Structure 1
Amino acid sequence: MILVTGAAGNVGTNVVRQLLEAGEKVRVMTRDPGDRSFPDGVEVVAGDLTRSETLAAALSGIEQAFLFPVFTGIGGFLDAARQTGLRHVVLLSSSAVTFSTPGLIGEQHLQVERALAASGLPWTFVRPDAFMTNDLAWAPQIAGGEVVRGVYGNAALAPVDPRDIAAVAVRALLDQRAGEAYVVTGPQSLTQIERVRIIAETIGRPLRFEEVPREQFREQLLRHGMPAPVIDELLDGLASRDGKTAETSPAVEEVTGRPPFTYAQWVAHNATAFLPAQT
């Protein structure tokens, strides 16, 4: 049986679905089993990665696990995993760990990777670049108008569909690809301006990207509750990519045997999120 943590997230929901489609037995661990619904056939247990006393029962009878990164409490999970005989952990990490300057988020992911590597448990690291789903943050602007406002419109990323991140993780589990680390990207280097254009073409509406001053955008993010250090790291990262082509990785096709989803395919799959609410 395979344990999936973070099973309600963008990647975890797809990991659960794809494992079930492959005929695997799946258990998900969640803080409140009655608070969410999961597909038929999934065993749901109570557990919290930050509360080590809940983990032994959740891991009992489990052979492999998909681990959502929790930056506090990783030691408790690893202790319980060793005690219950877990044979393989596939960790959702971040491509930021490969950067010359990983930054705040990258350093946190590195700490989890290092703890897992030092635990003696067989591991696989799945290191996605920016999620395509991050662009759902534009949905309110698109649903309510024709302009997406932001900074560094010519900053390029190679965003990846969470379905592809999950597919790499699932193959790592099924094939027991221990000791491997995969940087996972989408198939295209795309600027923010280009991504807004693709959304417009896909949903059949005129849209454009409008540049706003960095400080104005920063203030907006602060008002939405994002911590200042995270904002500055985000904006500095965009600035460093401005006018440059993002690197793409062949990992999705190499591991899964099929090409990754394009940005246009992701938009089509999520088109209703960008449409005005029905009244």
Structure 2
Amino acid sequence: MSILITGARGAVARNLASLLSARGIAHRLGSRAPDTPGTVRCDLSDPATFPEALAGVRSVFLYAEASGVDAFVEEAAAAGVEHVVLLSSSAVLAPAAVDNPLAAAHRDVEEALLASPLRTTLLRPGSFASNALGWAGPLQAGLPVRLPYPGAHTDPVHEVDLAEAAYAVLTDPALAGRAYTLTGPQSLSFADQLSLLGRALGRPVPYETVTAEQWKAEAAASIPASFADALLAHWAAADGVPARLTEDVPQLTGHPARSFGAWVEDHADAFRSGDWGNTEGPGPLARTGASGKGE
């Protein structure tokens, strides 16, 4: 075994595993809740699961989980791991990142890895295109999507591009040991994204503007108040303000980043059937804007 893929039920991890399998590159899947044969239990908040998952591993694709990162670093170094590719977040680059709980977990994991003897590559996505799956429920119920800032811009990036970027840095030593900020090819407001979704579904996708307080109250069952406040602050700052885009996805993958329209075409059935797919790690809203991960 040479590569451990954590968060194996997530979309990025699944696509990365497919790329490695297609090229015959040995790898092991790790998940906090293994649901496929051959997947080892690797709960990034439970150090007891680390030794088995890391045995014989030389590289790791790592989801950000701050609670167990010190133990993970120690065990990885002891196991002979040489390279860690962290799926972090561009939230760590924001001026107010120090006060942002959504950025804090990613920043803590980054700092632990960078202070370790492990060669570390940082992949910092902005907003996952898959955050849009959070709209599937109301759309299937015939309800408008409720948004506090429909004009807020994000830089939605396709999970396949993230997987291809991870594959590139895992397999090409010349690309490793750096930080990459990964964005989609367009800055789109939430209203723009809903318009593209409606075009793919062949029907209008309505939205309703609500206050920040209304949205926070409605999200309270699934999003802690401090996270909700961070999201609202990010969206408020991005209202009418285009997101900054980078060329790091094309640099790593060798092709233009996939558009949000392409992501919608790939996932349109999820908005019809309710099959939103498995996730590993924080849910989609925890990756929005400040973002990232939910895979």
The 10-residue stretch of structure 1 (17-26 or 91-100) with the greater mean CA deviation from structure 2: 17-26
- The within-5 A match list for 1:177-196 is 177-196=175-194
Q: Is the 8 A contact 1:141 1:148 kept in 2?
A: yes
1:211 to 193, 209, 221: 209
Residues 241-274 of structure 1, C-alpha deviations (whole Å, 9 max, x = no match): 0111111111110111011111111011111111
Deviation at 1:210, TM superposition (A): 2.0
Identity %: 37
Name the residue aligned to 2:155: 158
* Pairs aligned (count): 271
1:63 to 36, 58, 67: 58
User: CA RMSD for the aligned pairs?
Assistant: 1.7
- Unmatched segments (≥5 aa) in structure 1: none
1:220 to 218, 221, 233: 218
User: TM-score, normalization: structure 1?
Assistant: 0.92
Larger radius of gyration: 1
Deviation at 1:213, TM superposition (A): 2.1
Q: Is the 8 A contact 1:124 1:181 kept in 2?
A: yes
Q: Is the 8 A contact 2:3 2:26 kept in 1?
A: yes
Residues 138-171 of structure 1, C-alpha deviations (whole Å, 9 max, x = no match): 1122223263221111111111111111111111
- Unmatched segments (≥5 aa) in structure 2: 276-295
Name the residue aligned to 2:12: 11
Deviation at 1:32, TM superposition (A): 4.5
| 1:123 partner SS | strand
2:92 to 97, 106, 121: 97
- CA distance, structure 2, for counterparts of residue 50 and residue 246 of structure 1: 32
Name the residue aligned to 1:2: 3
| 1:270 partner SS | helix
| 2:84 partner SS | strand
Residues 97-144 of structure 1, C-alpha deviations (whole Å, 9 max, x = no match): 111111112122111101101111111000011111111111122223
The aligned amino acid for 1:252 is: V
> Once superposed, which parts of structure 1, at least 4 consecutive aligned residues long, lie more than 4 Å away?
none
Residues 169-188 of structure 1, C-alpha deviations (whole Å, 9 max, x = no match): 11110112322101111110
User: TM-score, normalization: structure 2?
Assistant: 0.87
